[in-house]
Every structure is written in C-alpha cells, then in structure tokens.
Amino acid sequence: MIVLMHKAVEQGVNFFDTAEVYGPYNNEELVGEALAPFRNKVMIATKFGFNIQDGKMAGVNSRPENIKKAVEGSLKRLQVDVIDLLYQHRVDPNVPIEDVAGTVKDLIAAGKVKHFGLSEAGAGTIRKAHAVQPVAALQSEYSLWTRQHEKEIIPTIEELGIGLVAFSPLGKGFLAGKMDENTKFGEGDIRNVLPRYTEEARVANKALLDLIHQFADKRNASPAQIALAWVLAQKPWIVPIPGTTKLQRLTENNGAASIELTNGELQEIENASAQIQITGSRYTEAMEKSTGL
C-alpha cells in the first residue's frame, strides 16, 4: 500500500483521506509513513468523532475533550505538525454542533488544524457549524445512484461556499461493473449488510450499470471512468475520492480526470437514469439514523 500511495502521488494525486477509526489507527499510521516524503506536495484529511474501545469503534463521541485527544493522536500517527482538513466523522446528537465547531476553531487558532469539515451532516447542522467556524468541506456519499443530497444539501453548501468530497463515487464497486448477482463478499465486508447489495438488488440495479456501459463503449472508457467523470462534471468544487488497493485501478480511476462529458451526454445520462428506479437503500435504517441527516 505504501508503494501504491507513492504511485498515486507520481500520477498527480495530492489529496488523501483517512480517519482515526480506520483500523482503528493503522490506516493513519500507514498514510503517515507513506506520505512523509511528500509532505509539501499533498493534503491529508482525517476525522474524529467516535469512541474507540478495545481496538473497535464504539459509538459517536464529539465531546471537546475527545476531539482534542483524537487530534493529538492523529498528529503523531500522520507524522505531521498540522492536520490539513479535520472532519467530524458523524454528527453526535449529544453534543451541540456549535461546541464541536468551537473546539475545532480553537485547534485552528493553536495551529494544529488548517481547515474544518463535516461528514454526512444535514443542512441545518452545516449552517450552525459554519456560523461558528467556516466549514471548508462536507464529505458525503454522492454518485450516479446516490443523489438525495441534490435536493437540499448541495444547494446549501453551494450557497455557503463549501466543497463536497464525494465518498463511494463508484458505489462501493458496483458502478465500476466489478460485481454481479453472483459476487460473494468476504467476511466483515460492509456490503453484506447493506440493502443495496443484496443479490436481488444487484439484479434490479443492473439497468443503471447497463446505461454506464453504453457511455463507456461510446467514449472508449471503462464504466468506472464514466461514473467518476459524471461526478466531476456536476460542479467544479466536487472532489470524488475513489478507494483502491490495486495499481491498475488507481491508474484507471485517475484516467477519469481526462474525460469531459459533453452537455449533451450529461443530459442523455440524466434523462435515462431518471427512468431507472434504484432498488435498496444505501444503509440499513439504524445506520441512516446515525448519519445525522
């Protein structure tokens, strides 16, 4: 993975996303080690907002003392003096967002953080936080099959001048055409419990994949490249963060940056996808309740 991240930098990638809870901790350590030689060339984003007990995530916690503790740990693991972008990983219903924003504001004043971000926050939460400490970026799921944020959240952040960092822009692999109804997920893979990845849903949602394949064939591109090019075409301030462990996929994904879909193609995709009903919610009901939306 260190070799892969070095290749990513060589190919022009300059923004890396991690979190203390990934691992927990191992991912930040890996990112810190891998990117140490390129510290002046890249931006690293990380996140706080969970209790971590016995090496596992254990509920949300954005109390000020936990935020400060998380930041000290992240600084050490990432081998940096300042965190470029610090997100609240998930909204904590037990802590006023104003207190969270105020704590990050203090960390910015102390020179430990450069920019404040939120993840999967609702429009009201974004406005309240932004009034205390300007929010630089919102990280939320956004792709050709996850578009509910277009109704209220994307207009809100556009109004406030906040960027969108789109996670799962390839639908956790589905929009890349790398799975079908026969695909088996490994133990611990979150797709085992998500409604959109049941065998029945994968069959039903093939219509969207077929549409992406049509445009991939026309443009001599891969489905993943078309899915990413679509995200990139929506707004200049939207940044997709596809993840991969394979050099071949890294190179393929980066190729999307050179594919500019025309207005006509975008309208064709819009018209065709509007006729496709996506089967299965993106999260279970319990998970949706915890996202703060």
In this structure, the answer to whether residues 29 and 98 fall within a common structural domain is yes
Q: What distance in Å separates the CA atoms of residue 83 and residue 93, rounded to the nearest whole number?
A: 25
Q: What is the pLDDT of residues 24-80, one digit of tens each?
A: 999 999 999 999 999 999 999 999 999 999 999 999 999 999 999 999 999 999 999
Q: Say if 110 falls within a structural domain.
A: yes
User: With b meaning 16 or more CB within 10 Å and e meaning fewer, what string describes 46-55?
Assistant: bbbbbebeee
Instruction: Say if residues 111 and 82 touch (Cβ distance below 8 Å).
Output: yes
Q: What distance in Å separates the CA atoms of residue 242 and residue 240, rounded to the nearest whole number?
A: 6
Provide CB contacts within 8 A for 260, sequence distance 6+.
229, 233
In this structure, the answer to whether residues 198 and 110 fall within a common structural domain is no
Q: Say if 157 falls within a structural domain.
A: no
Look up the domain containing 53 and give its range. 1-141
Active-site pick, 22, 25, 142, 283: 22
In this structure, the answer to whether residues 100 and 198 fall within a common structural domain is no
In this structure, the answer to whether residues 97 and 199 fall within a common structural domain is no
The domain boundary, picked from 96, 124, 141, lies at 141
In this structure, the answer to whether residues 43 and 2 fall within a common structural domain is yes
- For residue 197, the SS3 value is helix
In this structure, the answer to whether residues 137 and 1 fall within a common structural domain is yes
CATH code where residue 191 lies: 3.20.20.100
Q: What is the pLDDT of residues 131-168, one digit of tens each?
A: 999 999 999 999 999 999 999 999 999 999 999 999 99
Instruction: Say if residues 124 and 155 touch (Cβ distance below 8 Å).
Output: no
Q: Say if 149 falls within a structural domain.
A: no
In this structure, the answer to whether residues 133 and 176 fall within a common structural domain is no
Q: Say if 161 falls within a structural domain.
A: no
pLDDT at 11 over 60: yes
In this structure, the answer to whether residues 123 and 84 fall within a common structural domain is yes
pLDDT at 293 over 80: no
pLDDT at 197 over 70: yes
Confidence bin at 290 (pLDDT 50/70/90) = low
| pLDDT above 70 coverage of the chain, percent | 98
Q: Mean of the pLDDT values across residues 123-129?
A: 98
Q: What distance in Å separates the CA atoms of residue 147 and residue 132, rounded to the nearest whole number?
A: 28
Q: Say if 165 falls within a structural domain.
A: no
In this structure, the answer to whether residues 183 and 226 fall within a common structural domain is yes
Q: Say if 28 falls within a structural domain.
A: yes
Q: Say if 20 falls within a structural domain.
A: yes
Q: Say if 65 falls within a structural domain.
A: yes
In this structure, the answer to whether residues 182 and 136 fall within a common structural domain is no
Look up 22 and say whether it is catalytic.
Answer: yes
- For residue 254, the SS3 value is helix
Q: How many domains does the chain have?
A: 2
Q: What distance in Å separates the CA atoms of residue 155 and residue 135, rounded to the nearest whole number?
A: 15
| Full-model pTM | 0.96
- What would the DSSP string read from start to end of 23-51? TTTHHHHHHHHHHGGGTTT-EEEEEE-EE
In this structure, the answer to whether residues 176 and 117 fall within a common structural domain is no
In this structure, the answer to whether residues 203 and 273 fall within a common structural domain is yes
